[in-house]
């Protein structure tokens, strides 16, 4: 087996329409919905950085302008805070700006949302012939070790695509992408097949896909050749199944940490509550307040 190449870049696809969040998503892109006192996108950005990656490619729609300005310094605001002697706020701004000082950020446009696989193809030209981490905007993992770092550690050993997994109660699995697997060791599996939203009788395991991956250049070769499915979309899971059919190894790793979903309103609200109640600054007072609510 060839030695695995270090992963230097991450793709963060954000070009979805956010229709499950209407009417909220008509005025604010979903990636800026808050989780505690930070937007979803900042949690994902921090995970990427804490995984050791220093180049990020955002896939955005033509209407998404806010993301292009969010991770930039704001000299006018800094001058205002200095003038008003808002030292605490200035320190908070400086801490935020330090987050992206040593990160290279670029943007590619997905003009029409034609599936998660199609979004990745738009970013392929910025990746060259190297493996890349991928983190979709619906999933945040809260834990001591960043989710992408966990996948990258597995990639160093297997030098093949790695899919993030989480275990759920069997009755919940039909709402997700399910995997048929062969267990290799603790938390590590060889994927045999991906089944998207199976009927309960067809569930292959308790493991479902989380929107985080390490992909190899071979995956992009398949993505570029893929034809849109019945819904007119190129789906990453279908492409991975094609690779499996051709005998290519694909691995799955069950992540450690709390999986915080943001794919619909209720899941986002639960994730907001979880992070807010566990926040090191605000958590205790919020928990005390919740106890008072009748």
Whether 271 and 210 have beta carbons less than 8 Å apart is answered as: no
Rounded distance between C-alpha atoms, residue 119 and residue 236, angstroms:
10
State how far the alpha carbon of 272 is from the alpha carbons of 15, 153, 172, 261, 264, in Å: 22, 29, 21, 10, 12
Question: Is the bond preceding 44 in cis, omega lying within 30 degrees of 0?
Answer: no
Whether 164 and 151 have beta carbons less than 8 Å apart is answered as: yes
In-domain check, residue 3:
no
In-domain check, residue 197:
yes
* CATH code of the domain containing 269: 3.90.550.10
The pLDDT score that the predictor gives to residue 4 is: 60
Which tens digits make up the pLDDT trace of 120-153?
999 988 887 899 999 998 999 999 999 999 999 9
- List all residues 6 or more positions away from 238 whose beta carbon is below 8 Å from its beta carbon: 117, 194, 196, 226, 229
Whether 210 and 166 have beta carbons less than 8 Å apart is answered as: yes
Which tens digits make up the pLDDT trace of 272-286?
999 999 999 999 999
Phi (first) and psi of residue 67, to 5 degrees: -65, -30
- List all residues 6 or more positions away from 193 whose beta carbon is below 8 Å from its beta carbon: 179, 180, 204, 241, 244
In-domain check, residue 2:
no
In-domain check, residue 4:
no
Query: Pick from 232, 226, 167, 178: which is nearest to 200 by CA?
Result: 178
Domain count, the chain: 1
The per-residue pLDDT string of the chain (294 residues; one tens digit each, 9 = 90 and over) reads 455 678 999 999 997 778 899 999 888 899 999 999 999 999 999 999 999 999 999 999 888 888 888 998 999 999 999 989 999 999 999 999 999 989 999 999 988 888 999 999 999 888 878 999 999 989 999 999 999 999 999 999 999 999 999 999 999 999 999 999 999 998 999 999 999 999 999 999 999 999 999 999 999 999 999 988 888 889 999 999 999 999 999 999 999 999 999 999 999 999 999 999 999 999 999 999 999 997
In-domain check, residue 37:
yes
Whether 102 and 116 have beta carbons less than 8 Å apart is answered as: no
State how far the alpha carbon of 150 is from the alpha carbons of 181, 213, 225, in Å: 19, 10, 29
Strand blocks (E) in 204-262: 207-215, 251-254, 258-261
In-domain check, residue 13:
yes
The pLDDT score that the predictor gives to residue 61 is: 87
In-domain check, residue 156:
yes
The pLDDT score that the predictor gives to residue 2 is: 52
In-domain check, residue 1:
no
Q: How many CB atoms are located within 10 Å of the residue 37 CB?
A: 12
Q: Is 98 exposed, middle or buried (0-12, 13-18, 19+ CB in 10 A)?
A: exposed
pTM score:
0.92
| Residue 196: domain span | 9-292
């Amino acid at each position: 087996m060839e030695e695995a190449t270090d992963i230097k870049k991450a793709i963060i696809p954000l070009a979805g329409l956010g229709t499950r969040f209407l009417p909220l998503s008509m005025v604010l892109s979903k990636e800026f919905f808050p989780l505690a006192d930070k937007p979803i996108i900042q949690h994902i950005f921090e995970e990427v950085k804490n995984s050791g990656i220093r180049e990020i490619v955002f896939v955005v729609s033509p209407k998404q302008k806010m993301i292009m300005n969010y991770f930039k310094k704001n000299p006018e605001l800094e001058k205002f805070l200095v003038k008003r002697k808002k030292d605490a706020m200035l320190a908070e701004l400086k801490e935020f700006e330090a987050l992206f000082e040593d990160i290279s950020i670029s943007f590619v446009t997905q003009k029409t949302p034609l599936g998660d696989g199609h979004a990745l193809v738009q970013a392929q030209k910025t990746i060259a012939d190297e493996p890349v981490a991928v983190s979709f905007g619906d999933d945040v993992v809260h834990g001591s070790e960043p989710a992408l770092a966990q996948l990258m550690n597995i990639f160093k050993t297997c030098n093949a695509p790695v899919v993030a997994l989480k275990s759920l109660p069997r009755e919940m699995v039909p709402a997700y992408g399910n995997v048929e697997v062969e267990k290799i060791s603790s938390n590590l599996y060889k994927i045999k097949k991906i089944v998207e939203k199976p009927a309960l009788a067809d569930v292959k395991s308790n493991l479902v896909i989380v929107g985080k991956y390490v992909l190899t250049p071979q995956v992009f070769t398949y993505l570029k050749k893929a034809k849109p499915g019945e819904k007119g979309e190129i789906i990453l899971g279908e492409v991975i199944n094609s690779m499996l059919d051709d005998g290519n190894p694909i691995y799955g790793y069950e992540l450690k940490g709390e999986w915080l979903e943001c794919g619909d309103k209720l899941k986002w609200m639960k994730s907001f509550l979880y992070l807010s109640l566990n926040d090191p600054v605000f958590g205790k007072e919020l928990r005390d307040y919740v106890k008072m609510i009748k």
